């Protein structure tokens, strides 16, 4: 995936992120939309938009609708990916409450190095699917945080882990020969991509974020029209017809 090398301040990244979010909802943004979301005055918005336009990241003219250029969209998506990766780590691994995690992610998303970001994303995936980890380990850590003690019942924990591994192995072996379609998965289900039809429209979406066979996915939301999944730190919306072209090995 091609990375944009444009250097931006934290403030300008916030503007790009906000414009992207507004555009996703309304197809275009107005200065007042941005000012309201960021809680800044109109003159600050105007100055930021002129700077971003000068860098070729937004399409802007006074009193006109605001949209992102392809480069602006690429950077905005990367900012949002950083934000989501941090928030997922805080909420799913550290069990930090939603509001605190959101606030911390907003502050840290501008400075986290790429290497650390990628490791955070991989760690969240790993801890959720590893039989030595999973929900049980995370809940055990949460209890430790609350009570500041360890239960010491390690033998029982290991036995539970082994039994869980046996059950997961049976399920995984069952689907290894006959993987299911993405549309068959339920909300919060985890799985590994087995195959994506290279002739489908979904294939390009996955290639753009360097996801493919072997990548871990999780179903975030699902309805009759589309499925929202998380993979490689990105959120992707897959249409119902596209989901027919993606095969998954469930966990």
Question: Model confidence over 196-216: pLDDT tens digits?
Answer: 999 988 898 898 888 888 898
Q: Which is more confident, 73 or 161?
A: 73
How far apart are alpha carbons 162 and 158 in whole angstroms?
6
Closest alpha carbon to 119 in 91, 86, 75: 86
CATH topology of domain 180-250: SH3 type barrels. (2.30.30)
Contact, 92 vs 138, CB < 8 A? yes
Q: pLDDT band for 146, please (50, 70, 90 cuts).
A: confident
| Residue 156, helix vs strand vs coil | helix
Q: What are phi and psi of 4, to 5 degrees?
A: -80, 135
Beta bridge pairs of residue 66: 29
The pLDDT score that the predictor gives to residue 100 is 95
To the nearest whole percent, how much of the chain has pLDDT over 70? 82
Position 4 pLDDT exceeds 60: no
Q: How does pLDDT run across 73-85, given as a tens digit for each residue?
A: 999 999 999 998 8
Q: Is the pLDDT of residue 168 over 80?
A: no
The pLDDT value recorded for residue 133 is 62
pTM, full prediction: 0.69
| Spans of all domains in the chain | 10-75, 180-250
CATH architecture of 10-75: Orthogonal Bundle (1.10)
Categorize the per-residue pLDDT at 251 as very low, low, confident or very high, splitting at 50, 70 and 90.
confident
Question: Which pLDDT score, from 0 to 100, does residue 55 have?
Answer: 95
Q: Are 174 and 219 in contact (CB under 8 A)?
A: no
Query: How confident is the model at residue 147, as a pLDDT?
Result: 72
Q: What is the pLDDT of residue 29?
A: 93
> Taking a C-beta distance cutoff of 8 angstroms, is the pair 28, 67 a contact?
yes
Q: Is 197 helix (H, G, I), strand (E, B) or coil?
A: coil
**Contact predicate 34/45, CB 8 Å:** yes
Cβ atoms 220, 186 nearer than 8 A: no
Q: How far apart are CA 140 and CA 130, in angstroms?
A: 15
Most confident by average pLDDT, 19-23, 117-121, 151-155 = 19-23
Q: What percent of the chain has pLDDT over 90?
A: 45
- The 3-class SS string of 38-76 reads HCCCHHHHHHHHHHHHHCCCEECCCCCCEEECHHHHHHH
């Amino acid at each position: 995936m091609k990375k944009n090398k444009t250097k931006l301040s934290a403030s300008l990244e916030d503007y790009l992120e906000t414009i992207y979010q507004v555009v996703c909802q309304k197809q275009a943004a107005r200065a007042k939309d941005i000012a309201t979301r960021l809680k800044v005055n109109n003159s600050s918005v105007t100055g930021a938009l002129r700077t971003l336009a000068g860098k070729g990241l937004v399409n802007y003219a006074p009193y006109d609708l605001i949209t992102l250029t392809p480069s602006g969209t690429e950077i905005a998506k990367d900012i949002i990916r950083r934000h989501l990766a941090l928030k997922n780590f805080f909420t799913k691994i550290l069990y930090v409450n939603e509001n605190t995690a959101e606030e911390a992610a907003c502050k840290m998303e501008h400075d986290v190095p790429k290497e650390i970001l990628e490791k955070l994303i991989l760690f969240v995936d790993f801890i959720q699917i590893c039989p030595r980890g999973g929900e049980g380990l995370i809940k055990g850590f949460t209890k430790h945080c609350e009570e500041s003690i360890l239960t010491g019942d390690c033998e029982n924990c290991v036995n539970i882990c082994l039994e869980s591994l046996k059950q997961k192995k049976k399920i995984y072996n069952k689907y290894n020969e006959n993987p299911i379609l993405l549309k068959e998965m339920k909300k919060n289900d985890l799985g590994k991509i087995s195959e994506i039809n290279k002739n489908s429209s979904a294939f390009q979406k996955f290639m753009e974020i360097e996801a493919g066979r072997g990548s871990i996915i999780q179903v975030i939301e699902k309805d009759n029209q589309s499925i929202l999944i998380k993979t490689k730190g990105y959120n992707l919306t897959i249409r119902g017809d596209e989901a027919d072209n993606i095969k998954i090995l469930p966990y």
